[in-house]
Amino acid sequence: MSGEKGGLDRVLALELARVAERAGVAAARLRGRGDEKAADQAAVDAMRRELGMLSIRGTVVIGEGERDEAPMLYIGEEVGAGDGPAVDIALDPLEGTTLCAKNQPNALAVIALAERGTLLHAPDVYMQKIAIGPGYPAGTIALDATPRDNVHAVAKAKGIDVGEVTACVLDRPRHAALVDELRETGVAIRLIGDGDVAGVIHTTDPEETGIDLYFGIGGAPEGVLAAAALRCIGGQMCARLILDTDEKITRAGRMGVDDPARIYAVEDMAAGDVIFAATGVTDGSLLSGVRFSKDRITTHTLVLRSSSRTVREIRAHHREEGKFD
Ligand code: VTB
Ligand code: MG
Ligand code: MG
């Protein structure tokens, strides 16, 4: 069966949901155990095994690290059964390892699949980001505008007072000045311990999540994954890689980044048809975490497809627990 539009067969959306579910269940089995590494490893193994069953010729472009530092799902690794379309894969089998270890909200198993050559090949460095959901005029936010201007632009576009806007920021010392500037505007700040893929996606449904915009510096891989989601749901994001050493500039250059200061919009990071799936590992404002009961496992997965713009939530009851072994 083929998709009615877009370059990717829509059947892949369900396949991708399975991949996220499997990684999510593996991580959730180790949720709240205080062992980030074990949960991460379980998610990586599970995601890799399930990916191996997909009829794709996939290349990991956003993965667990650069080739010499990650044994599995590293950037450049070929994944899939090798008999289908050539695609780019971006993944983070456990986004928010600390959230999972501490059983705090919004740990996710995340994967995106796109037409070959259409995802930004970002090195594992930091990225400065700002994001809002759909429904705003183009250019409402800008990376080089002040936090005050960005917050006012969002409030104006929404027709509310700045005091009614909520911004999400990673709780890090590097954001002290940003938080101070935001405080002066009167905006509410949701400080999160980890998980800026979830943080950015939260802006797409403020009524549900209470978050209007996302600010700050997080991982570049997470930035590309978030852009893949926004490409499907709608929304705006501006981002810049933080390439503050010659070594990082060279590394990025090898991946095709020729302008270290470039500001990327959603379409620059996810340029083609893309499918995105995220399974909740811990409970969160968008997705419930995995539930284990006597004879079933329940998963909650968000599945997005850019060509149709369908936002699908799949709550699955898995009765055969053995399939996750
Ligand atoms: C960032 C963020 C992620 O880890 O990579 C963060 O993008 C790491 O930041 O969502 P620090 O180096 O300051 O700890 C996450 O929060 C989780 O992977
Ligand atoms: Mg990871
Ligand atoms: Mg991560």
Mutation pick for ligand 1 pocket among 170, 200, 215, 241 (CB with most ligand atoms within 8 Å): 170
Contacts of 68 (CB under 8 A, 6+ apart): none
- What value of ipTM does the predicted structure carry? 0.97
Q: Which atom of ligand 1 is nearest to the CA of 196?
A: 10
Domain with CATH 3.30.540.10 in the chain: 10-119+274-324
Question: To the nearest whole percent, how much of the chain has pLDDT over 90?
Answer: 92
Report CA(73)–ligand 2 centroid distance (Å): 10
CATH code, residues 10-119+274-324? 3.30.540.10
Confidence of residue 1 (pLDDT cuts 50, 70, 90): very low
Mutation pick for ligand 1 pocket among 128, 178, 194 (CB with most ligand atoms within 8 Å): 194
Q: Please give the torsion angle defined by the CA atoms of residues 310, 168, 27 and 232, in that order, rounded to the nearest 10 degrees.
A: 20
- Contact in structure between 131 and 310 (CB atoms under 8 Å): no
Domain with CATH 3.40.190.90 in the chain: 126-269
Q: Which atom of ligand 1 is nearest to the CA of 126?
A: 5
pLDDT tens per residue, range 196-233: 999 999 999 999 999 999 999 999 999 999 999 999 99
pLDDT tens per residue, range 261-282: 999 999 999 999 999 999 999 9
219 is in an annotated binding site: yes
Please compute the mean of the pLDDT values over residues 234-255 and round it to a whole number: 97
85 is in an annotated binding site: no
pLDDT beyond 70 at 2: no
pTM here?
A: 0.97
Q: How far apart are CA 243 and CA 268, in angstroms?
A: 18
Task: Please state whether beta strands 310-318 and 188-192 pair in parallel, antiparallel, or not at all (unpaired).
Answer: unpaired
Q: How far apart are CA 90 and CA 254, in angstroms?
A: 18
CA distances from 28 to 87, 202, 296 (A): 28, 21, 14
- The response to whether residue 95 sits with its C-beta less than 6 Å from ligand 1 reads yes
95 is in an annotated binding site: yes
Between 1.10.760.10, 3.40.640.10, 3.90.76.10, 3.40.190.90, what CATH number should domain 126-269 receive? Answer: 3.40.190.90
Strands (E), the chain: 57-62, 78-79, 86-95, 108-115, 126-132, 166-170, 188-192, 213-219, 236-241, 264-265, 274-280, 291-292, 297-305, 310-318
- The response to whether residue 194 sits with its C-beta less than 6 Å from ligand 1 reads yes
Please compute the mean of the pLDDT values over residues 61-65 and round it to a whole number: 94
Please compute the mean of the pLDDT values over residues 36-62 and round it to a whole number: 97
Q: State residue 101's pLDDT score.
A: 98
The C-alpha angle with vertex 128 and arms to 242 and 185, in degrees rounded to 5, equals 140
Mean pLDDT of the chain: 95
Any idea how long the chain is? 325
193 is in an annotated binding site: no
